[in-house]
Structure 1
């Protein structure tokens, strides 16, 4: 028979009864480690010094071995199976001892029930111990969770969406007071207090995002404004929670709600600064183009007319020189050649500053000439597709589109190693669209976001100023495509601050 170790504390005055009890336990398969005590001090020492599985106490009403022993164990806070062993079976005594906390009452004259009772009570004790440990762990987890929730920079909550479409808050943390200026109990009793706080302009996005999360059981992440009454103070909040279906088929979310007003303010200020920088950059571009136009006009008109006058005067002098002075005639020819070179250089400078063809013949012809000159200069094959009729554009849009083409062709020449370039120009109903593609080496995403990629950045800024958009697609080894679209009637950039536009509302 397999043996089980048993540590038994015997509260017994009779050595004979002790031997009979131990013999019965060994006969039942127990390997007993025991200690016998017969007074309070000895029992208290035994409970303090050693660990026991069971207490077997002889019931002797007149001595320590009885309810006094049970009360001593209970006073020590020890939870062990406590079994009374007695030579007498009095119903009132049995009832009294069991009501006092004993686990069993066994007749010493027949110890057949002893081993089964010990086994049963050991199981019960183990269950009680495991239950206590689970309770302790639960309390620790609850305390840890409560500490975590208390220190959250926001509010933890549960939202329940009922079958009738109504909502309630099964749980609200104390953070609701700081975030919403509402007590958790008030919000749990009346969930519409929260709904009434939603900014009218943001209520629609809130409800739509809730429906999407509920229908698809996807993570709910919403940003919007709430209005704190009665002062009308505005807060930006971020609601983040995960949905699940309850046993009743309703949708319940658990998550956190936090105040993002400061980060939202910073985000809008950054956006405001970026828009101001774009406006400044675009203004610089416009001023630069105007300056180029002025310089080109001065070079063409003033310098050109001066060079023409010089050439006429030189021709007049040459006609009056004596044919017998060939050295002077040769020098006159040299000066005429220098004037011609200077005139050509002035025309080239004037054209590079501001292509006269753009003002005289329009965007289509100017781009066609630019593409042809690029092809002759680089040897790269170019195809230019454009409408049969010229496109009438605002002068600022026309020069911006022309500069984008120049910048794109320059990038192709410097970096693409392309053999073919295709340019498509479209006059759409609402915008003018240009697509430039090459069969060069392409580029990676990291190349596009390099801090010194001024060419692509300049293209984006030119287009953004007019409210257009740019799509740049590059694949390593497969070339690059740049698509720019500029509205015919662009709206100017606005740099108004959303918060500052509502002076009656205070942002928290």
Structure 2
């Protein structure tokens, strides 16, 4: 899609050139300006000497002595430029570090055009709001009445004793109506007020507390409240100073992003269903048409051989070669049909299909295969196909990456879930290797599992890799 923008300048910081070039092309199609591609943190810093970007797309696991998070810390400290992290997978510690740098969003690889555009627009919108807010705070920090943010002052019982014009505009009440009333009256849910005031009393301060509040006209607003408790001593007592920020529009953007991701997931699921149907149709067509024709040809050839003069040695040898070729083609046709859609999956079920595929895998690779599968009653065809394709992809990854020589496979029912486990004895992997590998196969596995509200866990160590799948029945 071609979208007209204000030609915001974007810097790409990504050490994988193919991903970076693809990202650059997508950004230009969307109408953004790309000032360059930096493959390391040092290259990123050099760009600030030439041209200041409006936004940075930063690979969270940037290779080199300075990773993406550390680079973002420097930028956050020395420059006022919004950053969106690019990530395929990160551990909790990395995400905690990343959050401390004040990012304006995360985009999960592989990057979809719609997600990219939405994330950038939200980030730029948020950044512009934040920038204006910072200017406002600097300019009017001592001018209570001129603040652009709704500000209120309450006594120790949370009764409002003062409010600025922004507060009045937000809630649509005159100042006289606000004064002397409890702050709880402006909360849409009293339980949220109780939680908020409890935190304020216990901690002395609350930052960016998200809740819903209501105006005089009944408009429900998503807000963030930052509040500090103060104490002027026994004579004057204490109270609270609070700032309210309306984030309703931001929440709408975020919900739209969630909806777009769900739509994409639904589309992916539908595409997979169509692919499976097409595979089934092709396999059936090959089996019914080509398979029958080959069988008929083999019968005709056998009939001819019986009628050949025994003295026609050359002709007999030629028909023998033809018979062998026909047999080879029949075997190839059967293999093609099995690869497209194993008939055993439809005829005998998932457990039998996994046992058959494991046996084929053992014959082809020489791996030791330990298989423990039980039949799963009431398992839908869609879920059976998804689990079988995940199993096939896992075997493919074992061949490509594991350096293993044995595989353990189990399929069973646990409570209301079906559980599939594939474990090898290979060299394992690190979290960084799994991210950098950029496996579309693993991404496809995750999408298949998520489409059924399931769980996919891939773990690896020195004793190999384990793929653990759980899908509700």
TM-score range, shorter chain: 0.5 to 0.7
Q: How does 1:82-231 map to 2 (within 5 A)?
A: 145-147=141-143, 150-152=146-148, 154-158=149-153, 162=157, 167-184=158-175, 186-192=177-183, 195-200=184-189, 203-211=190-198, 214-215=201-202, 219=206, 221-230=208-217
Match of 1:429 among 415, 418, 424: 415
Match of 1:481 among 441, 446, 466: 466
The Cα of 1:245 is off from its aligned counterpart by: 7.6
Aligned equivalent of 1:136? none
* Separation in structure 1 between the aligned mates of residue 360 and residue 205 of structure 2, nearest angstrom: 57
Report the CA distance shift for 1:435/1:239 in structure 2 as closer, same or farther (over 3 A).
Answer: farther
Report the CA distance shift for 1:426/1:159 in structure 2 as closer, same or farther (over 3 A).
Answer: farther
Report the CA distance shift for 1:143/1:273 in structure 2 as closer, same or farther (over 3 A).
Answer: closer
Report the CA distance shift for 1:328/1:148 in structure 2 as closer, same or farther (over 3 A).
Answer: farther
1:236-294 per-residue CA deviation (whole Å, 9 max, x = no partner) reads: 2122335578867x995544321112211111111101000000000000110111111
Aligned equivalent of 2:458? 472
TM-score normalized by structure 1? Answer: 0.59
Task: Tell me which structure has the larger Cα radius of gyration.
Answer: 1
Report the CA distance shift for 1:159/1:311 in structure 2 as closer, same or farther (over 3 A).
Answer: farther
Contact 2:207–2:226 (Cα < 8 Å) also in 1: yes
* Separation in structure 2 between the aligned mates of residue 243 and residue 415 of structure 1, nearest angstrom: 57
Report the CA distance shift for 1:334/1:393 in structure 2 as closer, same or farther (over 3 A).
Answer: same
* Separation in structure 2 between the aligned mates of residue 334 and residue 222 of structure 1, nearest angstrom: 81
Q: How does 1:55-454 map to 2 (within 5 A)?
A: 145-147=141-143, 150-152=146-148, 154-158=149-153, 162=157, 167-184=158-175, 186-192=177-183, 195-200=184-189, 203-211=190-198, 214-215=201-202, 219=206, 221-230=208-217, 232-242=218-228, 253-387=240-374, 389-449=375-435, 452-454=438-440
- Note the residue ranges of structure 2 that are not aligned, 5 or more in a row: 1-136
The Cα of 1:380 is off from its aligned counterpart by: 3.5
Report the CA distance shift for 1:440/1:178 in structure 2 as closer, same or farther (over 3 A).
Answer: farther
Between 408-417 and 172-181, report the one with greater CA deviation. Answer: 172-181
SS of match in other structure, 2:310: coil
1:68-100 per-residue CA deviation (whole Å, 9 max, x = no partner) reads: xxxxxxxxxxxxxxxxxxxxxxxxxxxxxxxxx
SS of match in other structure, 2:453: coil
Count of equivalent residues: 335
1:274-323 per-residue CA deviation (whole Å, 9 max, x = no partner) reads: 00000000000011011111111111222111110010011111111112
CA RMSD of aligned residues (A): 3.1
The Cα of 1:472 is off from its aligned counterpart by: 3.0
SS of match in other structure, 2:227: strand
Aligned equivalent of 2:51? none
1:39-80 per-residue CA deviation (whole Å, 9 max, x = no partner) reads: xxxxxxxxxxxxxxxxxxxxxxxxxxxxxxxxxxxxxxxxxx
Contact 1:158–1:171 (Cα < 8 Å) also in 2: yes
* Separation in structure 1 between the aligned mates of residue 315 and residue 288 of structure 2, nearest angstrom: 30
Aligned equivalent of 1:4? none
* Separation in structure 1 between the aligned mates of residue 328 and residue 193 of structure 2, nearest angstrom: 71
Aligned equivalent of 1:502? none
Aligned equivalent of 2:446? 460
* Separation in structure 2 between the aligned mates of residue 368 and residue 218 of structure 1, nearest angstrom: 60
